[in-house]
Amino acid sequence: MTVLVTGGAGYIGSHTVRSLGESGREVVVLDSLETGHSEALLGADLVVGEIADFDLVTKLCRERNVRSIVHFAAYKSVGESMSHPLRYFSNNVGGSTALIDAAVAAGVEQFVFSSSAAVYGSPARVPVTEDLLPRPESVYAETKWMVERVLSWIGETRGLRSVCLRYFNAAGASFDSAIGEDWSVTTNLVPIVMKATLGKRPPLEVFGSDYPTRDGTGERDYIHVVDLAEGHVKALDYLDVGKPSLTCNLGTGKGSTVLEVLSATERISGCGVPHVFSARRAGDPAVVFADPSLAERELGWRARYGIEEILQTAWTWHSTHVDGY
Ligand code: UFG
CA of 179 to the centre of ligand 1 (A): 22
Q: Are 51 and 98 in contact (CB under 8 A)?
A: yes
Residue 207 has pLDDT above 90, yes or no: yes
End-to-end, the C-alpha distance of the chain in Å comes to: 31
Residue 208 has pLDDT above 80, yes or no: yes
204 touches ligand 1 (CB under 6 Å): yes
CA of 125 to the centre of ligand 1 (A): 18
Domain 2-170+224-250 has CATH 3.40.640.10: no
SS3 127: coil
HSE-up of residue 200 (Cα within 13 Å, Cβ side): 16
Residue 185 has pLDDT above 90, yes or no: no
Alpha helices, DSSP H only, in 198-257? 225-240
CA of 319 to the centre of ligand 1 (A): 21
Residue 239 has pLDDT above 90, yes or no: yes
Q: Are 83 and 17 in contact (CB under 8 A)?
A: no
Ligand 1 atom nearest 206 alpha carbon? 7
Asked if 2-170+224-250 and 171-221+253-320 have one fold, the answer is no
| Alpha-carbon distances of 258 from 86, 205, 228, 267, rounded to whole Å | 32, 10, 21, 15
Nearest to 167 by CA among 5, 7, 3, 12: 12
Q: What is the pLDDT of residues 245-254, one digit of tens each?
A: 999 999 999 9
Q: Report d(CA 14, CA 75) in Å as an integer.
A: 16
| pLDDT at site 325 | 84
Residue 280 has pLDDT above 90, yes or no: yes
Percent of the chain with pLDDT over 70: 100
Q: Tell me the mean pLDDT in the region 134-150.
A: 97
Q: What is the pLDDT of residues 64-115, one digit of tens each?
A: 999 999 999 999 999 999 999 999 999 999 999 999 999 999 999 999 999 9
How remote is the C-alpha of 281 from its chain's centroid?
Answer: 22
169 touches ligand 1 (CB under 6 Å): yes
Is 140 annotated in the active site? yes
Q: Whose CA is nearest to atom 1 of ligand 1?
A: 189
206 touches ligand 1 (CB under 6 Å): yes
Residue 324 has pLDDT above 90, yes or no: no
Residue 183 has pLDDT above 80, yes or no: no
Q: Which of 11, 140, 167, 211 is catalytic?
A: 140
Nearest to 86 by CA among 30, 134, 32, 142: 142
SS3 222: strand
| pLDDT at site 323 | 83
Q: What is the pLDDT of residues 213-231, one digit of tens each?
A: 999 999 999 999 999 999 9
| pLDDT at site 163 | 99
Nearest to 124 by CA among 246, 1, 308, 287: 287
DSSP calls for 68-109: EEEE--S---HHHHHHSHHHHIIIIIIHHHHHHHHHHHTT--
CATH homologous superfamily of 171-221+253-320 equals UDP-galactose 4-epimerase, domain 1 (3.90.25.10)
Q: What strands lie across the sheet with 219-220, from one edge to the other?
A: 256-257, 219-220, 287-288
Ligand 1 atom nearest 192 alpha carbon? 8
12 touches ligand 1 (CB under 6 Å): no
Q: Whose CA is nearest to atom 21 of ligand 1?
A: 188
Q: Whose CA is nearest to atom 26 of ligand 1?
A: 169
Q: Where are the domains of the chain?
A: 2-170+224-250, 171-221+253-320
118 touches ligand 1 (CB under 6 Å): yes
| pLDDT at site 157 | 98
pLDDT band at 171 (very low <50, low <70, confident <90, very high): very high
277 touches ligand 1 (CB under 6 Å): no
| pLDDT at site 235 | 98
Please count the other Cβ atoms lying within 10 Å of the Cβ belonging to residue 239. Answer: 22
Q: Report d(CA 169, CA 189) in Å as an integer.
A: 9
Ligand 1 atom nearest 169 alpha carbon? 34
Mean pLDDT of the chain: 97
| pLDDT at site 221 | 98
